Every structure is written in C-alpha cells, then in structure tokens.
Structure 1
Amino acid sequence: MRERHVLGLSGGRDSAALAVHMAQTRPDLEVEYFFTDTGKELPEVYEYLGRLEGFLGRPIERLNPDRDFDFWLRQYNNFLPSPRTRWCTRQLKIRPFEQWLWPALDQGDRVVSYVAIRADESFREGYASTHPNLSVALPFREAGIEKAGVIDILEASGLGLPSYYEWRSRSGCTFCFFQQKIEWVRLMERHPESFAEARAYEKNAVENGSPFTWSHGESLDDLTRPDRVAQIKADHQRRLERAARRRIPNPLRPEADVIDIDELYGQAKVCITCHK
C-alpha cells in the first residue's frame, strides 16, 4: 500500500497553473502528471505540454486510449458526440484514466487526484470518484484562487498562456462540440486540415442518420459559406464592443482586460476532464 498524488493536464490554462502551483507550494509531494491524448488535439496543446514538462522538470505521463476516436465512432453507429451524449469524454478520457489507476487502487494504493476547479467556479464539480481508495482534491477552491490568480501564476512562472487562447477559449479535440461559431471559423482559417477532417466526420455521420452536427443547429458546410462567415465575424465583433463598454479598465492588470470567449457567450458546461 502506498499513497499517490496525480494531476491531469488538458493542455489548458487552469490545469497547467495548478501543476505550477503544486510544484511551488507542495514540493514535498511526488505528483504524477498525466495527459490523456485523444490524438485529435491542437498542435499548440502538444507544444505547451512540452514547455510545461520543462518547467516541472518531470515527465508528463501520456495515457493513450487503446481504441481511438474512429473506433468508438463506429461503435456509436457513426453518431457524433454532443453535449447530451458525451461518449468521447467517457471513452477517450475517463476510461484510459481508470484503466491506468484501477489496478493499483484494487491492490490497496490510495490516490489523491488534483483537479483545477477555481474558486470562482462554484457551479462546477470535478470527476466523481467511483473507487473507495480514490479521492479528489480542489486546491484552487481551497486557496481561493480565481481566474486572475491562475493567469498570475502562469505569467510569473514564465510559461504564459497556451498560444491557442489567442483565438479559442479552451483545449480539447479540434472538433470539440463546445466551440462557439467564431471558434469554428478560426479553426478553418488557422488549421484548415483539422477543419476538413471535422467536416468529413460530420458528413459521414449525417449520412448515417446522426441527429447531431458539430455546431448546434448548423452544419459545417453551411458555416463555411462566405456570407455566413462574415455574419459570424460581425456578430462576434459586436459582442466584443458591448463587453468592452461594460468593463472598467484596470491599469495595474492590463492582461486581465482581455475578453475571452466564455465571457462573451456564457460559461458552457464543459467536460472538466477535457478542458481544465
């Protein structure tokens, strides 16, 4: 029997900041960092994980699902995952995590899993343990660390934010269904090969009777029309201007004045396992 401490990284802002926070405040703990790779992540995610690994001075364990997205898509009759049927999270994130830890838990090891839910996210809950020897800890909530504090941690460490935050609000698969319309447009412009792959998946799914498209109520074929792209960009700009008028600038924290997509469109009830 032994006690283990694990921290899952998504390639996103919050989990990276938690890894830095734990390394700085609890150097006595031998934290095991892991990343569950779906194989459909943004290239920026892999680049940032490499930088984080260098900062931590410790390897990040890669948990690769034994069966990829294409396998599970076939198992689900080519129906796309959606906010209502998140089979991708279950099969490509949670399942590999449990396969990694369960043998040790069954043998008596006690494991603490650290999750990057912030103090300003009272509406969110972490992964619910389904094993008596696995417990979940929320250090940011316990320490009262909010979004601004997360940014401070990453800036002070020299890591900064993952570069995809320039155009997208969170990590996860390139074709994540939680993306806003403007994020799909930006994916098309910045990573056209990933957009084309998502489009092909969607077309095949629709032909097989899937009730879902990647973007709610609109196919990617429709979204790519020039007039629709222009409309999406104009709507996004109007949202930015309205949000900017409501804000009170803080000269001491100019980076905090950056308006992210969640602030413009509202907090989505995203999968914590994928996006923290």
Structure 2
Amino acid sequence: MSTQHRHVLGLSGGRDSAALAVYMRHHHPEIEVEYFFTDTGKELPEVYEFLGRLEGVLGKPVLRLNPDRDFDFWLKQYNTFLPSAQTRWCTRQLKLRPFEQWIKPMLDEGQHVTSYVAIRADEEYREGYTSKHENLVVTLPLKEVGVDKAGVMEILDSSGLGLPRYYEWRTRSGCTFCFFQQKIEWVRLRERHPESFEEAKRYEKSAVEHGSPFTWSHGESLIELEQPERIEQIKADHKKRVERQKAKMMANPLRPDDEPLDVDDLYGQAKGCIACHK
C-alpha cells in the first residue's frame, strides 16, 4: 500500500456499504482498501454478526473505530436532548468525528485519501460526508458504474454474503434506537430485543423530563407506542401497506415472495444519515 495514497471505505453494517466493499474487492483487487466501522456501542447484535461474515468474504479484518466519547457522554453535552432528524448529533459525534480523527494524521502527513461511499445509481446523493480537505476525495463507485438496488442484491447473493439478519424484521442499519425507524420497526425492536427497547424508553423518559421537544418516534412516546391497542393498530397499518405495495409490483419470477420489502418502499424514502444507513 502506498504511504502517499490511502483508500478507505466505511461500513454501516447495512446492505449497500457491504455490497460496495465486495464490489471493490472483486473489481479492484489492485487497490488496497482499508475497511472501517465506527462502533457507537449501541448497534444491533445482528450488525456485529454481519460484519463478521463480511470479514470472511473480504478476507481481511474490518477496523473498528470506537469513539473516545460514547453516546451517554454526548447525551449529557446536549442536555439529555435526544438526537433527532433536526439535530443529528449522534451521526456528527459518534460517526463522523471518529472518522475525521482517524484520517487527520494521514492528511497532516500530506497523504491523499480516497473515501468510497455507497450511494447507488438509483439514488440521489443524499446528505453525506463532503470533503473539507484538499487531499480527501469522496467517490461513489456504485453510482458511477450504474449499480442500483437490484445490483446490490445480486452482489450480496453471488458473494454468498446475503443480507444482514436484521432484514428479517427491519431494513435500516444504524443504532438500535435510531430515530429514523418507522413505528413498525419500534414494535419489532420491542419483540426482538426487549432490553434495547427498555433502554430506549429510559433515555426518552429522562429527555422528556429535562424538556426535550423530541421523542424517539414522531408524535408519541415509546410508552404510548407499546400499548397493546396501539401495537395492533401499527401492525394493521403496516399489513395494509405491504398488501398495497405487493399489488403494485409486477410479477417477477426472480423475486421470491418472501423477500423483505424495504421500509422506504412502504413509507417513502427517508433522508437517513449516509454514515449510519449505507
């Protein structure tokens, strides 16, 4: 690896960044890519399992960047106000800041750094990381070569990696209690990882008591959301959305009936954070 040019690729534990990593491994073996994952300490256990499988496919370890200050530290700095779509301090402090600290010595030494970001050809370049240094270049290989969502699925399937196991019940990577989750994903988090749901409730209760204008889920607290009648309502609404979406889809013999529909397919494209969700 040239000491003058480093190639880095951030993994979220999600589908698209994993496909990009596999793509770079197969199509550009001449490039020594350094794969990294910024661990907030609040990830789903399925994320760690998926990263382990990905390391096997890549044939090299994924560097874990652990923030020097954790979620609880930053929560105090923000007066116990929860992160939200309006104030995404979690992405800024727990994802982007550790990345910047990691590459700063490289840039200070005069090295050139290329960062590979997993934006697909069928996506607009949503809010992501833009370079603040002349020696740091952000590039979008999947978009450049025309790989769309179907192409990502093909890359994962052909490599034997497949989807992260959390796709069985939600289609967002990122933190356990990410505020971009839809109502049905909160319900399923409660079912799959009740201890994480209870932790999220504790954070929310403290935030509200300290005057936070935000709850994890828009318009209602998790205590309200977990009421039996509300859960049934959320599940019924989700079932209707799934039925409507499937009715719109043309029959495709290559798409199995049990393939999970993306949350974005059902609820509209959310402007999630690139560093977390890709």
1:93 alignment partner in structure 2 = 95
1:121 alignment partner in structure 2 = 123
1:241 alignment partner in structure 2 = 243
1:33 alignment partner in structure 2 = 35
Q: Helix, strand or coil for the counterpart of 1:8?
A: strand
- For residue 43 of structure 1, the aligned residue among 42, 45, 66 is 45
Q: Output one character per residue of 1:185-239: Cα deviation in whole Å (capped at 9) or x when no partner.
A: 0000000000000000000000011010000110000001000000000000011
Q: Output one character per residue of 1:65-123: Cα deviation in whole Å (capped at 9) or x when no partner.
A: 00000000000000000000000000000000000001110110000000000000025
2:186 alignment partner in structure 1 = 184
Q: Output one character per residue of 1:26-77: Cα deviation in whole Å (capped at 9) or x when no partner.
A: 0000000000000000000000000101111111110000000000000000
Q: Helix, strand or coil for the counterpart of 2:73?
A: helix
Q: Output one character per residue of 1:125-147: Cα deviation in whole Å (capped at 9) or x when no partner.
A: 53100111100010000000000
TM-score (norm 1): 0.98
Q: Distance in 2 between matches of 1:51 and 1:89?
A: 25
- Residue 183 of structure 1 deviates from its aligned partner by 0.1
Matched-pair contact (CA < 8 Å) for 2:9–2:21: yes
Q: Distance in 1 between matches of 2:74 and 2:64?
A: 20
- Residue 170 of structure 1 deviates from its aligned partner by 1.1
- Residue 124 of structure 1 deviates from its aligned partner by 2.1
**1:165 partnered with 2:175:** no
Q: Distance in 2 between matches of 1:86 and 1:274?
A: 11
Q: Distance in 2 between matches of 1:245 and 1:57?
A: 41
1:218 alignment partner in structure 2 = 220
Unaligned runs of 5+ in 1: none
Q: Distance in 2 between matches of 1:133 and 1:112?
A: 8
Q: Distance in 2 between matches of 1:155 and 1:128?
A: 31
2:147 alignment partner in structure 1 = 145
2:200 alignment partner in structure 1 = 198
Matched-pair contact (CA < 8 Å) for 1:115–1:136: yes
2:254 alignment partner in structure 1 = 252
Q: Helix, strand or coil for the counterpart of 2:202?
A: helix
Aligned residues: 276
Q: Helix, strand or coil for the counterpart of 1:254?
A: coil
Two-structure CA RMSD over aligned residues (Å): 1.2
Q: 1:256 to 1:221 in 2, by over 3 A?
A: closer
Q: Output one character per residue of 1:160-188: Cα deviation in whole Å (capped at 9) or x when no partner.
A: 00010111111111110000000000000
**Mapping 1:45-124, distance limit 5 Å:** 45-124=47-126
Matched-pair contact (CA < 8 Å) for 1:169–1:261: yes
TM-score (norm 2): 0.97
Unaligned runs of 5+ in 2: none
